[in-house]
Amino acid sequence: MSCDTFKPLLMGYLDEELTALEAVRVEQHLEECHDCTAELDDFRKLKEVTRNMRVVMPDDKYWDEYWSNIYNRLERKAGWILLSLGSIILSAYGLYWVIAEVFLDKNVHPVIRIGVLTLIVGFCTLLVSVLRERFFLSKSDKYERIKR
Amino acid sequence: MNPIEEGSAIERCKNGDREAFGLIVQKYMKPAYYVALGYVGRPDDALDISQDAFINAFRHIKRFDSSKSFFPWFYSILKNLCLNHLSRSRRRKEDSIDQMVEEEGQSRIPVETVNPEQGAVQRDIEVRIGKALQRLRPKEREIIILQHFQDYSYQEIADLLGIPIGTVMSRLYSARRELRRELERMGVRY
């Protein structure tokens, strides 16, 4: 078998994660292959220098608050959904009411009608524009093919 | 928590039991943090993203097949969030070349020696190793953090990431080789 087959097994050998049979096969290969022996020595030195190193953990207080943060956010999310739903219903009703009052009432001055109509069209245009931009941006990143 | 207890907790989660989900979070929050740290490289971001991933997991828990392990399914959610975060960060960095240069020069994965009586040389090596880690690809960082710095066994890593042990070994080989090259480039002698 070639060295490429043994290279991943060198890791298992170094970390004592191989079966006895696999370890014997690696040892037999190492007896014949100076390159793999030298590479194993390099990896052993790397392991030695980092033997007692650990990734610095966040303070205990972060772990104590970890679950409560998640719990609160789950709870708040439900609140936000209900709040948004209620706002949408009331806004839609308000809009309907304004339209009915302004456009069906013949006593309302035409300037006010034009003003309200302009406001509604402007709001709808902005809304559609923002939604369209969000939709297309989420589908494609124009820089994704650029290698950095 | 053994697999049977975990399965039972998942079933309760599917019925909306948030307390049961708390047990799952307690079990996996640290591996989730390490995986996220491997991808995004910053402790604060890793904490935030791992929490977001748990929230997403709870919302979609009904889609999870209870006969399988939780973490590999959760891992795919976490990984996607990390990649989205990296993509957004890249876009932000494009807006500020100065910030990008500054960050590349300073950022590092925080590692430290367990022995408190360390010398200045050892601290220097820690900083350099942290910087070298930061330069690895996310998947390489991830496996180095799990195995090299947190002593997870190959079987535990295979279970966490949902990959065969052979893949753990080959990924670890390429990751250690890259780490060694980075350290050589930085002139670290050991």
Q: What is the mean pLDDT of residues B98-118?
A: 61
In a domain? residue A30: yes
**Residue-level pLDDT at A139:** 57
In a domain? residue A58: no
Same domain, B148 and B94: no
Query: Is B169 in contact with A9 (Cβ distance < 8 A)?
Result: yes
- Summarised one tens digit per residue, pLDDT across range B30-70 is 999 988 988 888 888 999 999 999 999 999 999 998 888 89
Does some domain include residue A40?
yes
- What CATH number does residue B142 fall under? 1.10.10.10
Is A16 inside any structural domain?
A: yes
CATH number at residue B4: 1.10.1740.10
How many domains is chain B built from?
A: 2
DSSP-assigned letter for residue B68: S
* B170 class by beta-carbon count within 10 Å (0-12 exposed, 13-18 middle, 19+ buried): middle
Judged by a CB distance cut-off of 8 A, whether residue B111 touches chain A is yes
* In a shared domain, residues B100 and B122: no
**Per-residue pLDDT at B100 exceeds 50:** no
- Higher-pLDDT residue of B91 and A116 is A116
Residue pair B21/B13 in contact (Cβ under 8 Å)? The answer is yes
∠ CA A3-B129-B127, nearest 5°, is: 170
Q: Which pLDDT value is given to residue B173? A: 95
Residue B166, token pair as written in the block:
């052979």
Instruction: State which H helix or E strand residue A121 sits in.
Output: helix A110-139
Could you report the per-residue pLDDT of B8-29, keeping only the tens digit for each?
899 999 998 989 999 999 999 9
In a domain, B57, yes or no: yes
pLDDT of residue A135: 74
Q: Is residue A118 part of a domain?
A: no
Strand stretches in A49-104, DSSP E: 53-55
Q: Are B146 and B160 a contacting pair, CB within 8 Å?
A: yes
Please name the residue of chain A whose CA is at the shortest distance from the CA of residue B86.
Answer: A144
Measure in Å the smallest separation between the Cα of B169 and chain A Cα atoms: 5
pLDDT above 70 coverage of chain B, percent: 88
**What per-residue confidence (pLDDT) applies to A59?**
85
Residues B80 and B121 in one domain: no
Nearest to B108 by CA among B95, B123, B119: B123
Give the nearest chain A residue to B183 (CA atoms). A46
Residue A38 placed within a domain: yes
Spell out the per-residue pLDDT of chain A, length 148, in tens: 688 889 999 999 999 999 999 999 999 999 999 999 999 999 999 888 887 777 778 888 888 899 999 999 888 887 888 899 999 999 899 888 888 888 888 888 889 888 988 998 998 899 889 888 877 766 555 444 444 3
Predicted local confidence at residue B95, as pLDDT: 59
Chain A positions in Cβ-Cβ contact with residue B179 (cut-off 8 Å): 46
* Secondary structure of residue A61 in the 3-state scheme: helix
Residue in this structure with the two tokens 């004592």, named with its chain if needed: A16
SS3 A55: strand
Answer yes or no: is A136 within a domain.
no
Do B89 and B146 belong together in one domain? no
Using a CB cutoff of 8 Å and minimum separation of 24, what contacts does A38-44 make? Answer: A39/A7, A39/A10, A40/A10, A40/A13, A40/A14, A42/B180, A43/A10, A43/A11, A43/A14, A43/B176, A43/B180, A44/A14
As for how many domains chain A has, the answer is 1
What confidence category does residue B101 fall into, taking pLDDT thresholds of 50, 70 and 90? very low
Q: Establish how many alpha carbons lie within 13 A of residue B172's alpha carbon, considering only the half-sphere containing its beta carbon.
A: 32
Whether residue B103 sits in one domain with residue B136: no
Residues 6+ apart with CB under 8 A from A44: A14
Q: Report yes or no on B112 lying in a domain.
A: no
Note whether B166 contacts A: Cβ–Cβ < 8 A.
yes
Domain-embedded: residue A65: no
Res A148: pLDDT: 36
Domain identity same for B83 and B128: no
Which residue of A4, A50, A77 is the best one to mutate when testing the B interface, meaning the one whose CB has the most B CBs within 10 A? Answer: A50
d(C-alpha B46, C-alpha A98), whole Å: 48
- B45 with B77, same domain? yes
Shared domain for B10 and B93, answered yes or no, is yes
Spell out the residues 6+ positions from residue B88 whose beta carbon is closer than 8 angstroms to its own. none
Nearest to A66 among B18, B51, B183 (CB): B51
pLDDT given at position B134: 85
The range of the structural domain enclosing residue B123 comes to 117-190
pLDDT at A137: 65
How much is the mean pLDDT over chain B?
85
Instruction: Verify that B81 and B121 share a domain, yes or no.
Output: no
Asked whether residue B92 falls in the same domain as residue B127, the answer is no
Task: Report the C-alpha gap between A146 and B91 in whole angstroms.
Answer: 11
| Structural domain that includes position A22 | 3-49
Residue A143 has a pLDDT of: 46
Same domain for B63 and B128, yes or no, is no
What was the pLDDT predicted at A58? 86
